[in-house]
Amino acid sequence: FNNHVFLKKNLFLDHQHGEQTPKQMIGEALRHRVENIDHEFCEPGDEDTFFVADLGEVYRQHMRWKLNLPRVRPFYAVKCNPDPQVLRLLSELGTGFDCASKAEIDQILGMGVDPSRIIYAQPCKTNSYVRYVSTRNVRQMTFDNADELQKIAKLYPDAELFLRIITDDSASLCRFSLKFGAPLDTTDNLLATARELGLNVVGVSFHVGSGASDPLAFMKAVRDARYVFQRAEAYGYDLTTLDVGGGFCADASFERMAEVLNSALDEYFPPHCGVNIMAEPGRYYVSNAFTIACNIIARRTVDDPSASISGDLVDPSYMVYLNDGVYGNFSSIMFDHQHPVAKVLRCGDKFLFDHESAGPQPAEQEGSLEYSVWGPTCDGIDHITESTRFGHVLDVGDWLYFEEMGAYTKCSATRFNGFSDNHDVIYVCSEAGARLLLGMH
Ligand code: PLP
């Protein structure tokens, strides 16, 4: 590889360091940034949290998708992480985009993407947004109830509609079926209403819940979708497209999910039936692509009171306070049921990024110390890790890092207590194919 490192938003720095693994590229970007901060004299905020994003990882995920789900065209769910360079790469790779609001639609149209590559996949939409998308020719949208059909008939009768059906999402991290999705016994009425209103229903969509763990949820949802395709014929609709939603994880479960989904598609929507298949993956594309580095802004030493009574020599434990927490980029702990794993990036002068392993750092070594990790706000729930062990005595100014921080993190950060919700992203790109598409030579 040539190593290309974007510094901050639009700048990029071109390192020619010969062959490097993706991990080495990420490590080098982290090191470059933290070693250039003078903790004694820096300006307020210079030691702020920052991300390193490997766009090569997004590219690899796309290739993995094409290999495993060749019939399914991905429409990336922008809400998951609307990072401009990620969107630019996906646009070059030819994906579509699933948008939930006017701002997301504007961001995608602003990149010059054709409106036919957007689906407004929010079954309960804002009136003024529906009027707006009608002027921008964004036709594809979802619905799951009769009131929404009335809205669309009034505001955008030419829209191309996907009937979103309910799924069994009981095995998913984030469940949606309490809020969205038409039960199967209501779909006939909805199709009849759409027909009466003269609307253009073109397909069926579903979402098995974000972070799905049961591949059979896809099997059942595809079978239900087939039922709706057949019923739609009775109302004069010749549906053209099935949208299998999101829910795919980036870990090894993806191949198994894909296998089950493919066999469901082959059974209920075989290639010769001519139905287009699309999906709305979010976390699958970005979760592993982003690493975050956070600075230790304060430390509290916790002495064990029993030790002073017994006179035993017991190591203290520590509470460390970072400059990011659950109101910031660790919002994924609250909203996305995640458990980010803290690792030591820099302790004193020692740079400790682990280039080899994706798993936890060896914590149980002799003499390791117990830490709890907290966020910077004045709220007690701002708590990242209850208990972890490091083989180092960490102090103010040292750095921790967390991997797999790309999905549902920065997009749901707040400015609570006056902390920033917009942190720098340093881009690296560990795939030559992606560098070519992005014009990084
Ligand atoms: N599509 C819709 C309609 C969603 O609501 C979501 C997530 O909220 C997604 C796609 C993306 O889901 P995931 O990140 O699990 O792939």
Q: What stretch(es) of the chain map to CATH 3.20.20.10?
A: 56-285
CA 343, 407, 4 angle in degrees (round to 5)? 70
Residues β-bridged to residue 243: 205, 278
Task: Residue 360: name the closest of 371, 344, 349 by CA.
Answer: 344
DSSP 100-159: -SHHHHHHHHTTT--GGGEEE--SS--HHHHHHHHHHT--EEEE-SHHHHHHHHHH-TT-
**Distance (Å, rounded) from C-alpha 247 to C-alpha 89?**
21
Which atom of ligand 1 lies nearest, measured to the CA of 280? 10
Query: For the chain, where do the domains classified as CATH 2.40.37.10 start and end?
Result: 3-11+19-55+287-438
- What is the spatial distance between Cα 398 and Cα 349, in angstroms, rounded to a whole number? 9
* Spatial CA neighbour of 248 closest among 377, 43, 42, 75: 75
Work out the burial of residue 101: count CB atoms within 10 Å of its CB; fewer than 13 is exposed, 13-18 middle, 19 or more buried: middle
Residues 440 and 7: beta-carbon distance below 8 Å: no
Whether the CB-CB separation of 101 and 130 falls below 8 Å is answered with no
Is the distance from CB of 210 to CB of 170 less than 8 angstroms? Answer: no
CATH number for the segment(s) 3-11+19-55+287-438:
2.40.37.10
% of the chain beyond a pLDDT of 90: 83
Task: List, for residues 397-429, the tens digit of each pLDDT value.
Answer: 999 999 999 999 999 999 999 999 999 999 999
Classify residue 247 by its DSSP letter.
Answer: -
Give me ligand 1 centre to Cα 388, in Å.
31
Distances (CA, A) of 338 to 81, 173, 224, 405, 406: 15, 9, 30, 10, 12
Per the CB < 8 A criterion, the answer to whether 331 and 412 are in contact is: yes
DSSP SS3 for 240: coil
φ, ψ for residue 373 (rounded to 5)?
A: -120, 130
pLDDT at site 2: 35
Report the nearest-CA residue for atom 7 of ligand 1.
Answer: 210
- pLDDT tens digits, 233-268: 999 999 999 999 999 999 999 999 999 999 999 999
CA dist., res. 376 & res. 384, Å (int): 10
The pLDDT value recorded for residue 171 is 85
Task: Name the residue of 75, 210, 213, 283 to mutate for ligand 1: max ligand atoms within 8 A of Cβ.
Answer: 210
- Give start and end residues of each alpha helix (H) in 245-404: 253-268, 283-286, 305-310, 331-335
- The 10s digit of each residue's pLDDT in 157-194 is 999 999 999 998 888 888 888 899 999 999 999 999 99
Q: Residue 358 class from Cβ within 10 Å (0-12 exposed, 13-18 middle, 19+ buried)?
A: exposed
Q: What is the bridge-based pairing of β-strands 160-164 and 290-302?
A: unpaired
**Residue 138 per-residue DSSP state:** -
CA of 279 to the centre of ligand 1 (A): 10
Does residue 210 line the site of ligand 1, with CB under 6 A? yes
pTM over 0.90? The answer is yes
On average, the pLDDT of the chain sits at 92
pLDDT higher than threshold 70 for residue 393 = yes
**DSSP element (H, E) containing 96:** strand 96-99
**How confident is residue 17, by pLDDT bands cut at 50, 70 and 90?**
very low
Tokens of 154: 């009034």
For 435, which DSSP code? H
Q: Which CATH architecture has domain 56-285?
A: Alpha-Beta Barrel (3.20)
pLDDT given for residue 1 in this prediction: 27
Name the one residue in this structure whose structure tokens are 């095995």: 171
Q: Where are the beta strands (DSSP E) in 124-237?
A: 140-143, 160-164, 172-174, 200-205, 210-212
* Token code pair at residue 388: 């972890």
Looking at residue 399, its amino acid is W
- Band (74; pLDDT cuts 50, 70, 90): very high
75's enclosing H/E stretch is: strand 72-77
Q: How far is the CA of 438 from the centre of ligand 1 (A)?
A: 26
Report the C-alpha gap between 359 and 254 in whole angstroms.
19
C-alpha 402 to ligand 1 mean position (Å) = 23
Question: Residue for token digits 């309490």?
Answer: 178
Residue 400, classed as helix, strand or coil, is strand
Asked if residue 247 has its Cβ within 6 Å of ligand 1, the reply is: yes
